[in-house]
C-alpha cells in the first residue's frame, strides 16, 4: 500500500467518535461509581458540598438496594419468556418460508417484518391501548362468549404484556436474518435427503437448523443484549397501568436514581454492574457455544 498514514486517516473519525462517545462515557461511569458527595456543615454555601472517593460504597448500596434484586429477577424472567418465544417463532416462520410450500410467502414475509419499522415506544402505545379492556378486541370476543378476560396490565400479567410487545417487534427481524441464512444453503445438500424420503421436518431438524447454527447464535446473542436493556416498553406503558413501578427494570432504576433522585454516583455504579453483567453473559455465551463468530481471519 502506498501511503503509510492512509489507514490511520481513514480510521481517524471513527476513533475520535469512539473515544468521545463510547470509551469516555464508560471510563467516566467507572470513575463516578467510585465517588460520592461529602456535605460539610449545613451543606450551604460554596465548598460545603465536595466530591470525595467513596470506595465501593456505591456498589454495596446499589446491589443491596431492596428494589435492585427484584428488578434483575423480573428482567431475567422477562428474558426467559421473550428470547425463546421470539426466536422459536422466527425460526419456525423462516423454515416455513424457506420450505416454499405456500403461495402466500411474499405477503406474509413482508407483513411479519413490518413491526420492525415500528419504534418500541409506538408499539407499546398500540399494544397499550389494545390491552385496555374497553378497547381490546380479545376482551370483547371473550365477553361475548361469557368469559371474563384477565386484565393484561394487572400485576400478574403485566410481564407477559410487555414481553408480547417485544416478541411482536422482534420476531420479523430475526425471521429475516434466519431466512437469509436458510436461502444460502446449497439445494443439493438436502435434495439428496429428500429423494431418500426424508420429510420436511427431518430435513429442517437434521440439515437446515445445524447449518444455520451460527445465525441462531448471533440472533440469540443480540436478542439477549436487547432484552437486558428493556426500557422503552415499560416506560411507555406506565401511564396506562399502576403496576409498573419506577424501578421495574434495572435500567429504569438507573434513570430514576440519576434524574429523579439526582444520585448520579449510585446510578453510575448500577450502570457499571449492568454493563459488566451483559458483557460477561454475552461473552460467556459465545465461549460456551465455542463460537468463532466475529473472527478476524480472512
What residues between 143 and 162 interact with another protein by CB under 8 A?
Answer: none
CB of 39 to another protein, least distance (A): 20
Q: Does 10 bind another protein (CB under 8 A)?
A: yes
Residue with cell 424472567: 77
CB of 38 to another protein, least distance (A): 19
The CA-atom distances, in angstroms, between 254 and each of 134, 199, 229, 263, 271 are 34, 51, 11, 9, 7
Instruction: List the grid coordinates of 244.
Output: 409498573
Shorter beta-carbon distance to another protein: residue 40 or 292:
292
Shorter beta-carbon distance to another protein: residue 207 or 275:
275
Whether 34 contacts 56, CB under 8 Å: yes
Stretch that binds another protein, among 48-56, 62-70, 144-152, 170-178 (CB under 8 A): 170-178
DSSP 1-29: ---TTHHHHHHHHHHHHHIIIIIHHHHHH
What residues between 259 and 278 interact with another protein by CB under 8 A?
Answer: 259, 264, 267-268, 271, 274-275, 278
What residues between 54 and 83 interact with another protein by CB under 8 A?
Answer: none
Q: Does 28 bind another protein (CB under 8 A)?
A: yes
What residues between 175 and 234 interact with another protein by CB under 8 A?
Answer: 176-177, 180-181, 183-187, 200, 212-219, 222, 225, 228-229, 231-232
Q: Does 246 bind another protein (CB under 8 A)?
A: no
Number of residues that bind another protein (CB under 8 A): 120
Q: Does 243 bind another protein (CB under 8 A)?
A: no
Q: Which residues have CB under 8 Å from 102's CB, separation 6+?
A: 96, 108
Q: Which residues have CB under 8 Å from 55's CB, separation 6+?
A: 34
What residues between 86 and 125 interact with another protein by CB under 8 A?
Answer: 89, 92-93, 96-108, 110-123, 125
Q: Does 140 bind another protein (CB under 8 A)?
A: yes
Shorter beta-carbon distance to another protein: residue 74 or 270:
270
Among 13, 45, 47, 66, binds another protein (CB under 8 A): 13
Shorter beta-carbon distance to another protein: residue 42 or 58:
58
Whether 170 contacts 78, CB under 8 Å: no
Among 235, 247, 263, 269, binds another protein (CB under 8 A): 235
Shorter beta-carbon distance to another protein: residue 52 or 103:
103
Amino acid at each position: 500500500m502506498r501511503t503509510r498514514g492512509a489507514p490511520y486517516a481513514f480510521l481517524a473519525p471513527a476513533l475520535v467518535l469512539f473515544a468521545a462517545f463510547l470509551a469516555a462515557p464508560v471510563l467516566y461511569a467507572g470513575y463516578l461509581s467510585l465517588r460520592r458527595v461529602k456535605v460539610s456543615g449545613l451543606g450551604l454555601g460554596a465548598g460545603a458540598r465536595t466530591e470525595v472517593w467513596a470506595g465501593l460504597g456505591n456498589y454495596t448500596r446499589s446491589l443491596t438496594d431492596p428494589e435492585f434484586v427484584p428488578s434483575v429477577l423480573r428482567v431475567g424472567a422477562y428474558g426467559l419468556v421473550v428470547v425463546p418465544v421470539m426466536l422459536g417463532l422466527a425460526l419456525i416462520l423462516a423454515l416455513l418460508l424457506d420450505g416454499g410450500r405456500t403461495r402466500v410467502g411474499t405477503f406474509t414475509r413482508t407483513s411479519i417484518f413490518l413491526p420492525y419499522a415500528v419504534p418500541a415506544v409506538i408499539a407499546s402505545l398500540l399494544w397499550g391501548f389494545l390491552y385496555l379492556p374497553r378497547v381490546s378486541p380479545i376482551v370483547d370476543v371473550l365477553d361475548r362468549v361469557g368469559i371474563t378476560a384477565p386484565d393484561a396490565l394487572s400485576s400478574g400479567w403485566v410481564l407477559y404484556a410487555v414481553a408480547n410487545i417485544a416478541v411482536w417487534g422482534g420476531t420479523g427481524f430475526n425471521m429475516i436474518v434466519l431466512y437469509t441464512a436458510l436461502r444460502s444453503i446449497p439445494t443439493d445438500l438436502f435434495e439428496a435427503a429428500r429423494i431418500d424420503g426424508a420429510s420436511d421436518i427431518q430435513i429442517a431438524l437434521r440439515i437446515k437448523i445445524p447449518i444455520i447454527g451460527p445465525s441462531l447464535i448471533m440472533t440469540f446473542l443480540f436478542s439477549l443484549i436487547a432484552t437486558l436493556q428493556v426500557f422503552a416498553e415499560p416506560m411507555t406503558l406506565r401511564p396506562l397501568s399502576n403496576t409498573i413501578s419506577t424501578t421495574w427494570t434495572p435500567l429504569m432504576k438507573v434513570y430514576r436514581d440519576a434524574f429523579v433522585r439526582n444520585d448520579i454516583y449510585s446510578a453510575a455504579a448500577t450502570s457499571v454492574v449492568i454493563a459488566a453483567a451483559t458483557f460477561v453473559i454475552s461473552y460467556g455465551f459465545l465461549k460456551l457455544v465455542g463460537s468463532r463468530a466475529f473472527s478476524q481471519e480472512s
